Structure 1
Amino acid sequence: MSSFFSKSSFSQRILAHSAVSDSRQAKMLTVAEYSLISLGILIGSLFFVFAFLLRRVRQLTHLVRQRDRQLTKNLAAASVQTRPATSAARSAALTQSQQAQSQQAQCQQDLFNRQQALRLALHREEFRVYYQPIVELQTAEIVGFEALVRWQHPQRGLLRPADFLPLAAEMNLIAAIDRWMLKAVCQQLSIWQADLDFQRLNIQPRLSINLSAAYLSQPGSDVTGLDNGLVDYVRSLLTHDSIAPQQLNLEITESVMITDPEQTIETLRQLREMGLKVSLDDFGTGYSSLSYLHQFPVDVLKIDKTFVRYLGDQGNGSHAHNRDHGAAFPDRHQVIVQAILDLAKGLNLSVVAEGIEQPYQHSQLKKMNCHYGQGNLFGQAVDAASAHALLALKIR
């Protein structure tokens, strides 16, 4: 114990303890310094990274802004460039729409004007009757005429049926035009009957007039709005103008026959009982010819011009269609025409061939013993004065 508490030992122990304490403090300082240095390095690194990222963000932001500005400029430039084209396209579309509306309005106005003019034509009696000769084929002498309507338009001049009859049909004016034609034809027959030279030579031309389904199938007053129907009206005209009934021939088409068969048959029966003749026009072009022929009271068959066109043509170059088909093509038409003639003979009917324009057609029909014919070869449709002059040739 004494040794423990001795002065030298105590001093040595104090020095030893101090050395140990200094060593520990040194170690503690070294760790602290190292930690501070590491933290400083970390902070510096983070600051460097942050600065780098901030710089990149600024650069990218600058680039994006530049790109946006450039894109805005490009869009503005494109808008400036396309604005005239867009305006022009819109203007063109608007112009086209306005033109279409204007044309439609003009068409509607034109239609209205035509309808008004047609109604006025009936009221003012602007229609005219033209007469195409019907001849006896063996002698080529005129035996009658087919009455054809024309419109003497105040501005457009003389109009053919194709120029106004379709519109008249849409307006339900066909029956009224038929009625006017009947009256005009009977008046003309009365004038010719009163001609003394015609009486002396017994010239009694027959006049044929086409009747529509609208008039023929409705004998009452509900079609024309007038007091009497077709049968009564014809009877009154014959009585008023003192016309021989056999001089008036009424022509109907096959389409008229099938519109209202029962009513048509009854109307035709009454007309024939009065002494009028009835013709079946355009025979052979419809599908009902043979099935209805034995039922309907008719006196005359009119061979359609489509069967006459190539008749007698021996492929001499008049028709290119014949050259393509050879001589057999016109022969086929000859067979059809001959069959119609044989059928008419068996039924005791007369036959009129339409559309005769060439001498060889006339010659062939004569050989086949066809009774009558009409067409430009014998004369086009003419006015009443010219028709009278043609009849007067028999007097000389």
Structure 2
Amino acid sequence: MDRFLEWLVDPQGLTPHGFCLLWQPGLVWTHIIADSLVGLSYFAIPVVLMQVVRRRPDLVYAPVLWMFAAFILLCGAGHWIELATLWLPAYGLQALVKAATAAVSVATTLALWLLLPRILTLPSPLQMRLANAGLQREMAARETTAAALAASERRHRAIVEAAGSAIWRTDAEGLVLEGHGLEAPAGAPWIAALGPADPATLQAAWAAARQAVAPLDAEAWIDGHAGAEGRWLRIRLVPLQDEDGVLQEWVGTLEDITAGREAAALLRLCLEAAEIGHFRHDFASGTLQAGGVARRLQGHPVDGAPVPAATWFGGLVEEDRAAWEARLAEDVAAGAGSSGGAWRVRREDGGLRHVEARARLEYHPDGRPRHCLGVLIDVTARHEAEARIAHIARHDPLTGLPNRLLFRDRLEQALAHARRGQGFAVLCLDLDRFKEVNDTLGHPIGDALLCAVAGRLRDELRDTDTLARLGGDEFAVIQSSIEQPQDAITLAGRLVETICRPFELNGHQVVVGTSIGVAMAPQDGLEADMLLKGADMALYRAKSEGRGRWRFFEPAMDAAMQLRRALEIELRRALLLGEFELYYQPIVDVASRHVTGLEALLRWRHPERGLVPPDAFIPLAEEIGLIVPIGEWVLARACADAAGWPGAPRVAVNLSPAQFASRGLVEVVEAALRDSGLDPTRLELEITETVMLQDSQATLQTLHRLKALGLRIAMDDFGTGYSSLSYLQRFPFDKVKIDRSFTSELGLSRQSDAIVQAVTDLCAGLDMVTTAEGVETENQLQTLSQRGCREAQGFLFSRPQPAASVPEMLRSLSDETGPHGAGRDEPGENPGAEATPALDEAP
């Protein structure tokens, strides 16, 4: 063994076989090691190639790799054999391996040459990397697309579910394949699955669609089941065909349109009820298509073909048509999205229909107008209502005359002409005795009277004049274009004359009069308020001078009115400061001349003018409403004074008609009696016939309530007003007072004697006491005694005395025995203003 190793490694002893021209024994191990590594590589490379082929069976050129692997193995085998021949020569085997290697190498070379063109088409590694990156991007895109498709499918499914629609498919014969939202088994006919109320109509539409292979769009009513409500469905089916045009299946949707149909029906009903029509104006063709309502509003037949624009707008009032066309052209030129207007259409009966239009404008992409869609609204009723409202707002509803508002407008117009030199007159009128007509005959007759008065006044005026009712029984006239006051005088005379003629109203003959105040423009002013104020003051003067006449405004009237206003202020102050006083005048028994009572008479102690009689302020107090609080003060003061009088005579207090008209009169009397402690039998309330002209039923109720308190009620000034014996019959008065106008004529006038005799006889029969006022002479007293009058009052017995002098006056009268005792006035003495009784007696 040792010798073999020595032999093997000893370079001197190792001599290779074969031809060796240059042999260097020192390099033997270098050859051995290098050749061994090369031989191992010859075997390792084929192993790698075979692993590649085995693991990649999809390789196109695998046989070439097998041949190449065999070539390398053979080369490796030849190398090992050549290396072995260094020690053990085997030249035959070496030749055989080399021959095999040569054969395989030639075959591999030929195969590579044949495959070279195709191999050259294979991508390079860079191209492979780029291709791989592109493939990855494509795969990522496909994944994104797949995700988007899935999301889109989910969205569409959600939309279908939210929209309440069903999506379904049928085969070519209409048998259900699948459906979403459609409760139908596969293979069932879709019409049978729906169960329409009218299957024949739907079946006919389905047959027509199948025959024409055309989309189906139909509506059907589906009856409800098991308590569910029925519904309307819209059915759409679209045919799907293959590339050869052969029908494959139908795809359809079901949509619940119940709410839409009901809303559309309700909308149609509303449009018809509201007279709203619709139209479409095509600008290119110049024609309009419209519904039945719109056609009727425009005066065209309800059914018909499109109407040319010229014909459609031909029935409009010319100015309205021009205005609409100008407005529409302006809006189109401005590119506006909407337009609107109103016009009037001439009806067949000659009247006008008012129409309001609202339109939406549509344009082409280049800005050219395409068409307008609009609605027409019949606003005739609204216009008529507005006209009525405007008329009512500016006219009196009872007479139809202009009211104060319209009169003021006309007055301003007249003033504008007056400033240019064209004069006019303002006449203010009110009716005399109108209140009595209202109170006695009732408000319906009063209203009829106002209408009749308005008619008569209107007949006396020109068309250019203005007549207005300002309120109540107040009228006003603007007499235009007059040159001199005589024109106004002439008109005022005609108006007074026409109103004074009797009116026949519902079987009643009514007689009234009128008073007129006149102001002239521009003489009396160029302001509306100034003229109206002047005419009012002139009217006030006319009424104060006896009614039934006219008066022109004078500057002095303004001063008088200012004094009246000052008096009003002073009168209100007098009530607050306690400037009023009561005077008392005795009432005596005619037979015994014993004082039976005293009448309370009101006086005003003015701080500057002294004692003011009632006729100077009572009418104004009644006008401004102060008579009620003044009357309450008089009643309370008189009861308090009478409670301390010796002999317990009665106290008589006059009541104003205004006190009767106010509420709480009975309570005021009760309070006066309670606070003063006066026995109700000692209080006597005097009323005039005017009180009885008011609301008769309410007045009688109040009188009975007062009577129930235990006091006495007297009728004052009987025979001077609207005397009626029915008053004495309807209410049991305790006393009737004969007015001084009859007493003063006793013994001088047969008529006065007869009237006094008749009144006393009448009252005696009714158990009523008669009292004569204004007795000034013994002759009058004797005559009254002969006529049966039981009581008398006047200067013959005493002038009115202040409250502090009443006890002394009572003692003086009780001591007198002759007709000419102390304190009496001589016969014929003028009583003057102080004789005027309190509150309601005329001066």
TM-score (norm 2): 0.31
1:308 is displaced (CA, Å) by: 1.2
Based on CA coordinates, which of the two structures has the bigger radius of gyration?
Answer: 2
- Whichever residue aligns with residue 117 of structure 1, its letter is E
> For 1:187, which of 640, 655, 662 is the aligned residue?
640
* Alignment correspondent of 2:362: none
**Structure 1 equivalent of residue 794 of structure 2:** 375
Please tell me the residue identity of whatever aligns with 2:597: G
Which residue number in structure 2 is paired with residue 243 of structure 1?
A: 678
- Bigger RCO (CA 8 Å, 6+ sep): 1
Distance in 2 (CA, whole Å) between partners of 1:182 and 1:354 is 21
- Relative to 1, partners in 2 of residues 1:298 and 1:395: Cα closer, same or farther, differing over 3 Å? closer
Query: CA offsets, 1:94-125, max 9 Å, x none?
Result: x999xx99756544432322111000001111
**How far is the alpha carbon of 1:250 from its aligned partner?**
0.3
**CA shift in 2, pair 1:336/1:395, >3 Å:** closer
Instruction: Give me the whole-angstrom Cα distance separating, in 2, the residues matched to 1:309 and 1:101.
Output: 38
Per-residue CA deviations over 1:229-260 (Å, capped at 9, x if unaligned) read 11111112212221100111000000111122
Change in 2 beyond 3 A, CA 1:295/1:337: same
Matched to 1:353, the amino acid is A
The 1:238–1:282 alpha-carbon spacing in structure 2 relative to 1, beyond 3 Å, is: same
- The one-letter code of the counterpart of 2:766 is L
The residue aligned with 1:233 is 668
- Give the secondary-structure state (helix, strand or coil) at the position aligned to 1:377: coil
Asked whether 1:172 is paired with 2:625, we answer: yes
1:282 pairs with 2:717? yes
Q: Using the alignment, how far apart are the partners of 1:159 and 1:263 within structure 2?
A: 34
Q: Secondary structure at the match of 1:392?
A: helix
Alignment of structure 1 residues 110-149 onto 2, 5 Å: 110-149=563-602
Q: Which has the higher strand share?
A: 2
Which residue is equivalent to 1:55?
Answer: none
Task: Compute the displacement of 1:395 (Å).
Answer: 7.2
Q: Deviations over 1:268-296 (max 9, x none)?
A: 10111110100000111223321222112
Cα deviation, residue 180, structure 1: 0.9
Q: Is contact 1:251–1:281 with CA below 8 Å preserved after alignment?
A: yes
What is the DSSP-based 3-state SS (H/G/I as helix, E as strand, rest coil) of the residue aligned with 1:272?
helix
Amino acid at match of 1:204: A
1:46-71 superposed Cα distances (whole Å, 9 cap, x missing partner):
xxxxxxxxxxxxxxxxxxxxxxxxxx
Tell me which residue corresponds to 2:661: 217
Q: Is the 8 A contact 1:217 1:267 kept in 2?
A: no
Q: Which is richer in helix?
A: 1
Deviations 1:205-244 (A, max 9, x none): 11111101111132x2xxxxxxxx1111111221222110
Instruction: Work out the CA distance in 2 between the residues paired with 1:178 and 1:297.
Output: 24
Aligned residue identity for 2:590 = L
Question: Identity, % of aligned pairs?
Answer: 41
Unaligned runs of 5+ in 2: 1-522, 526-552, 816-843
Which one-letter code corresponds to 1:266 in the other structure?
Answer: Q
Q: Give the C-alpha shift of residue 331 in structure 1.
A: 2.4
CA contact (8 A) 2:599 2:651 kept: yes
> Aligned partners of 1:105 and 1:343: how far apart in 2?
49
Secondary structure of 2:644 counterpart: helix
Which of 707, 720, 727 in structure 2 is aligned with 1:292? 727
Consecutive aligned runs of 4 or more in structure 1 exceeding 4 Å deviation: 100-105
Change (3 A) 1:107 1:245: same
CA distance in 2, matches of 1:299, 1:307: 20
Please report how far the alpha carbon of residue 360 of structure 1 lies from its aligned counterpart in structure 2 after TM superposition. Answer: 0.5
Alignment partner of 1:393 is 2:812: yes
2:780 equivalent in structure 1:
361
1:321-360 map, 5 Å: 330-360=749-779
Contact persistence 2:628–2:658 (CA under 8 A): yes
**Code of the aligned partner of 1:235:** E
Aligned AA (1:150): R
CA contact (8 A) 1:283 1:289 kept: no
Q: CA deviation at 1:355?
A: 1.1
Aligned ranges 1:247-326 → 2 under 5 Å: 247-313=682-748
Alpha-carbon distance between aligned partners in 2 of 1:305 and 1:107, rounded to the nearest angstrom: 31
Deviation at 1:332, TM superposition (A): 2.3
